[in-house]
Structure 1
Amino acid sequence: MKGIELCKRFHFEFVEPLLSNHFPDLRYSSSLIGPGSEVLGYDTEMSTDHDWGPRVVLFLQANDMYLVNSISQVLQTNRPREFYGYTVDLNQTIMTTLAQFLESKLATDFEKGPELLDWLTFPSQVLAEIVGGEVFRDDAGHLAAIRKQLHYYPHDIWLYIMASVWNRIGQEEHLVLRAGYVGDELGSSIIGSRIVKDIMDLCFLMERQYAPYPKWFGTAFKKLDCANELLPLLSNVQSALTWRERGTALCKAYESIARMHNRLGISEVMPEQASPFYNRPYKVIQGGAFANAIAAQITDPLIRRLSQKRLIGGIDQISDNTDFKFINLWHAVEHSGERNTVRALYNKILE
């Protein structure tokens, strides 16, 4: 049984009947969101060896949080040893408020609403965990409202991140060929792999899907509409033994994503054919031109100014370091309201 189905049954067959009986006036939300391969539907039998099993995330109203111990006691008293053959560990069932949960995951106060710059500090994996999974009960509708709000990036943030990824491609597309030209096939291969990752990131963006973290990145990519066309091309880049083969494979992938870009209709029509890099014996797609064409469509004054200063993208483009992206970087000074380290970086650029 997939984890999300197991947790749904756990809610409807165990949690909800107990809460309805012992706390009939309680208004709450119950869901399976947050960390866990089962939230995105990627769990397998191997996933069951740790941090997996019947569980839910319960969201209480702030004025009902005093009931946490009482609810825990009721659940613990009535807990079966097993549920559909899986051990019941109530330590995996979380009780919190929606505001506390969001602050712990995204380090921002959603009662005030995130500002546009805040979106650049949200890892796409965390956003996927919040809008993924399933909601089993939502009495006040607040959880559904938040999931709708976070469903995808605001338009100008989407444009900014997409322009930034095109800019990354433009900065390195000639390097994969230049390295190979001087006999550095290993270096060329490494740069080629970096560009493959950028192309895949761009595909998630163009199809308006949050990209998961590395373990599920390729699995999720296979589900994109563009995967049938691009997977063979990107695989050819990865398996190429010479820089010329690598360059030829990359050009086919470039031309595919250029066509995807034009189908979006978000900028002037861009060239869909790779062209020479100056007078050198290799071709590129001129990623910087795509970046500039997209950035020109940004209308928010702050994000537009940021794009004119630096197209560095969001936190996923700045770093792939797990500790950097997923620890709570907010300053823990009580009542300080200070922005996090990543937000400070954007503010510095805007100075």
Structure 2
Amino acid sequence: MNGLTLAERYFERYGGDLLDGEFAAWRERIAVGLAGDGSDCLGFDDEQSRDHDWGPGFCLWLTDADHAAIGAALQRAYERLPKSFAGFGRAVTEWGSGRVGVLETGAWYKQYVRHPDGPQTLFDWLRIPEKDLAACTAGRVFHDPLDDFSRRRRRLLSFYPDDVRLAKIGARCMSIGQSGQYNFARVLARGEVFAARYAETKFCNDLMSLVYLLNRRYAPYYKWLHRGLLALPRLGRVVHAQVKALVSAGDADEKRAHIDALCAAAIAELQAEGLTSSDSRFLVDHGPLIHERIHDPALRRLSVLVG
């Protein structure tokens, strides 16, 4: 059983009694679910994940006023719930405490997106790490009659504003081309094996990030970046297989061939979406063309490398 299913079943078994008891008057104001950091929220957890910050539990999100009124009492009641369920206990580390239990909605979102109501400007959107947006939109909401938590979640799930997405796609084209199509071969020719490995890793990271952007999905924490490709319809499985082949290859010429194939696939997808009209096989030639499509003057004035 994965963590999301366990959390939902745990809530179904004990959450009703919790909300129907002394907190019945607040039931329609409390949001319940599991979201945030952790492989369980992404649905990627397995047996290995169960040794830390995993197990039966759920989040209860309250408005600021409700948290002040009943937060402490609700947390005490939550802590009285059974510590094990369906044969699983909860393993908590000092770094994972506070992931479940009673939380204030605005503060919870602020830790990920720097503002209780989410990004307020295009530049706010641009600055937030993709992994943080992925974390706070992962997981599942089990109960939210008030719709306060879910309303903010839906706004984030609708993805970046178009101009921000364009800025990021343009910037990825530049960094992918620089690290993979240019620097990788040059540093390898000099015998700089560390720099070559770093360029290869940078290339893979940014190429995978581009695939998430094309699919209008936030790229998760690096540990799950590659695995998450399998769920993406546009280039996901192709890039997953090709990246695996690239990092597994022992021959420099084979690596360069994989880099060329990945870049060609990315360019074809950019052309298919109508984001570039260039036939160049170099991604750095496509970045500025995509950046020019940004409508907001202030955002367009930024360097194409920013994103």
Mark yes or no: TM-score above 0.5: yes
Matches within 5 A, 1:126-141: 126-141=132-147
Matched, 1:73 2:67: no
What residue is the counterpart of 1:105 in the other structure?
Answer: 112
CA distance in 1, matches of 2:168, 2:42: 23
> When the two structures are superposed, what TM-score results if normalisation uses the length of structure 2?
0.87
Query: Structure 1 pair 21/185, CA: closer, same or farther in 2 (3 Å)?
Result: closer
Deviation per residue, 1:319-351 (Å, 9 max, x gap): xxxxxxxxxxxxxxxxxxxxxxxxxxxxxxxxx
CA distance in 2, matches of 1:256, 1:157: 23
Query: Structure 1 pair 70/247, CA: closer, same or farther in 2 (3 Å)?
Result: closer
The counterpart of 1:155, out of the listed 162, 170, 187, is 162
C-alpha contact 1:185 1:242 (8 A) present in aligned 2: no
CA distance in 2, matches of 1:91, 1:295: 40
Deviation at 1:91, TM superposition (A): 6.4
Deviation at 1:116, TM superposition (A): 1.1
Moved more, 152-161 or 169-178: 169-178
Q: Matched residue of 2:188: which SS?
A: helix
CA distance in 1, matches of 2:163, 2:237: 29
Q: Matched residue of 2:25: which SS?
A: coil
Q: What RMSD over aligned residues (CA atoms) do the two structures have, in Å? A: 2.3
Matched, 1:312 2:289: no
The counterpart of 1:286, out of the listed 282, 285, 294, is 282
Aligned residues: 296
Deviation at 1:12, TM superposition (A): 2.0
Query: Structure 1 pair 239/15, CA: closer, same or farther in 2 (3 Å)?
Result: closer
Identity across matched positions, percent: 26
Matched, 1:58 2:60: yes
Deviation at 1:189, TM superposition (A): 4.5
CA distance in 2, matches of 1:180, 1:207: 32
Deviation at 1:64, TM superposition (A): 1.8
Deviation at 1:302, TM superposition (A): 1.7
Q: Matched residue of 2:33: which SS?
A: strand
Query: Structure 1 pair 45/237, CA: closer, same or farther in 2 (3 Å)?
Result: closer
Query: Structure 1 pair 161/43, CA: closer, same or farther in 2 (3 Å)?
Result: same
Q: Which runs of 5+ in 1 are unaligned?
A: 274-284, 314-351
Moved more, 214-223 or 145-154: 214-223
CA distance in 1, matches of 2:112, 2:54: 20
Deviation per residue, 1:134-167 (Å, 9 max, x gap): 0011121122211111111111111101100101
**Amino acid paired to 2:78:** L
Q: Matched residue of 1:312: which SS?
A: coil
The counterpart of 2:183, out of the listed 171, 175, 194, is 175
Deviation at 1:32, TM superposition (A): 0.4
Deviation at 1:248, TM superposition (A): 2.5
Deviation per residue, 1:163-222 (Å, 9 max, x gap): 001011233322222233455566444423322222212111111121111211121123
What residue is the counterpart of 1:251 in the other structure?
Answer: 260
CA distance in 2, matches of 1:209, 1:36: 17
**Amino acid paired to 2:162:** H
Q: Matched residue of 1:108: which SS?
A: coil
Deviation at 1:242, TM superposition (A): 4.2
Matched, 1:34 2:36: yes
Deviation at 1:299, TM superposition (A): 0.4
What residue is the counterpart of 1:12 in the other structure?
Answer: 12
CA distance in 2, matches of 1:87, 1:156: 45
Q: Which runs of 5+ in 2 are unaligned?
A: none
What residue is the counterpart of 1:323 in the other structure?
Answer: none
What residue is the counterpart of 1:336 in the other structure?
Answer: none
CA distance in 2, matches of 1:186, 1:104: 35
CA distance in 1, matches of 2:104, 2:110: 10
CA distance in 2, matches of 1:232, 1:19: 47
What residue is the counterpart of 1:299 in the other structure?
Answer: 295
Query: Structure 1 pair 169/16, CA: closer, same or farther in 2 (3 Å)?
Result: same
What residue is the counterpart of 1:145 in the other structure?
Answer: 151
What residue is the counterpart of 2:88 in the other structure?
Answer: 86
CA distance in 2, matches of 1:36, 1:248: 35
**Amino acid paired to 1:9:** R
C-alpha contact 1:125 1:212 (8 A) present in aligned 2: yes
Matches within 5 A, 1:318-329: none
Query: Structure 1 pair 80/247, CA: closer, same or farther in 2 (3 Å)?
Result: closer
Q: Matched residue of 2:41: which SS?
A: coil
Query: Structure 1 pair 15/92, CA: closer, same or farther in 2 (3 Å)?
Result: farther
The counterpart of 1:49, out of the listed 35, 48, 51, is 51
C-alpha contact 1:230 1:253 (8 A) present in aligned 2: yes
Query: Structure 1 pair 231/154, CA: closer, same or farther in 2 (3 Å)?
Result: same
C-alpha contact 1:30 1:136 (8 A) present in aligned 2: yes
CA distance in 1, matches of 2:50, 2:183: 43
Deviation per residue, 1:242-271 (Å, 9 max, x gap): 44333232222211111111111234x231
**Amino acid paired to 1:14:** Y
CA distance in 2, matches of 1:101, 1:244: 48
CA distance in 2, matches of 1:76, 1:169: 48
CA distance in 2, matches of 1:202, 1:159: 11
Q: Matched residue of 1:80: which SS?
A: coil
